[in-house]
Amino acid sequence: MSKKLRIATTSLAGCFGCHMSILDIDERLFALLELVEFDRSPITDIKHCAPCDIGIIEGGICNAENVHVLHEFRKNCKILIAIGACAINGGLPAQRNHLDLSSCLTEVYLTEPGLAHGHIPNDPELPLPLDKVHPLHEVVKIDYFIPGCPPSADAIWKFLTDLIAGKTPELGHGLIKYD
């Protein structure tokens, strides 16, 4: 049998809903594991990406750390897939885009009582937020998009099995949805 494909997954500015949908492929996971190995992923708890065949990313880009992770994925993955509404359009986190970041931080940490002792957290450990939330394809090249909030397990299954079989993935009627 040929070498198993390596897959890495991560969630950036997302809710892990797309990962839940990946888990929703249920017992087909066993079939999948015959064909692939998971690298960096919440499933394995591996912290950094080794060279992989496929990277799957949920969520948009809201802070500096997201950018670093995304770069790491792009450098290591031959094929990068944006999964779900947030990765493709920014989604719910991007609702803050019409607000000015300064006034957001001021409102949360300075104006409202009882948070962070009245100063904006500035520990170097914390990633700085970007002034806007961006979809993945505005930061690196993305090869494929799986829309949906979240995409159904069937859509993910179809997409991955097509890809693994070496075909151009195609989500037909009923599997593509935008909400």
Partner 1 sequence: MAADDLCLLEQIVARHGNDASKLLQILREVQECFGFIAPAAVNSLAESLAIPRARIESVASFYSFLHLTPHGEYRVLFSDNITDRMLGSQDLMAQMCQQLWLQPGKVSEDGLVSIGTTSCTGMCDQGPALLVNGRAITRLTHQRVMEIGQLIRNRTPLADWPADFFRIENNVRRSDLVLGSTLLPGVVLQIALALGGQHVVDSIKTSGLRGRGGAGFPTGLKWEGCRNAPGSEHYVVCNADEGEPGTFKDRVLLNLQPDLVFEGMTLCALAVGAKKGFLYLRGEYRYLLEPLQAVLQRRRDDNLLGKSILGFPGFDFDIEIHLGAGAYICGEESALIESLEGKRGVPRNRPPFPVTHGYLQQPTAVDNVETFCQAVLALHIDAEKYRAIGTEKSSGTKLISVSGDCPRPGIYEYPFGVTVREVLQDCGAVNTRAVQISGPAGVCLGESEFGRKLGFEDLPTAGAFMVFDDSRDMFEVARNFVHFFAHESCGFCTPCRVGTSILKQTMDKIAAGHGTRYDLNEVENLDRVLQTTSHCGLGRSACNPVLHTLKHFRPAYENKLKSLDFEPAFDLDGALARARQMTGRDDAGAHLKAEGI
- Could you list the residues that contact partner 1 (CB under 8 A)? 64, 67, 71, 74-75, 89, 100-102, 105-106, 120-122, 124, 127-132, 134, 137-141, 178
Instruction: Name the strand (E) or helix (H) holding 70.
Output: helix 64-76
The two structure tokens encoding residue 105: 């931080």
Ramachandran assignment for 134, one of left (phi > 0), alpha (psi -120 to 50 degrees), beta (any other): beta
**Residues in the chain, how many?**
179
By beta-carbon proximity to partner 1, the closer residue of 34 and 179 is: 179
| Minimum CB distance to partner 1 smaller for 35 or for 101 | 101
Could you count the other beta carbons within 10 Å of the beta carbon of residue 155? 23
Query: Torsion over CA of 71, 74, 80 and 85, rounded to 10 degrees?
Result: 10
CB of 124 to partner 1, least distance (A): 5
Distance of CA 77 to the CA centre of its chain: 14
Are 7 and 52 spatial neighbours (Cβ–Cβ below 8 Å)?
yes
Q: Which two tokens stand for residue 117?
A: 């002792």
CB of residue 158 vs partner 1: minimum separation in angstroms? 19
Tell me the closest approach of the beta carbon of residue 74 to partner 1, in angstroms.
6
CB nearer to partner 1: give 38 or 109: 109
Give the torsion sign (CA, 80, 84, 90, 92).
negative
Question: In this complex, which beta carbon is closest to partner 1, that of residue 20 or of residue 120?
Answer: 120
Pair of tokens at residue 54: 């496929």
Question: C-beta of 179: minimal distance to partner 1 in Å?
Answer: 9
Please identify, using beta-carbon distances, which residue of 33 and 126 lies nearer to partner 1.
Answer: 126
To partner 1, the closest distance from the beta carbon of 64 in angstroms equals: 6
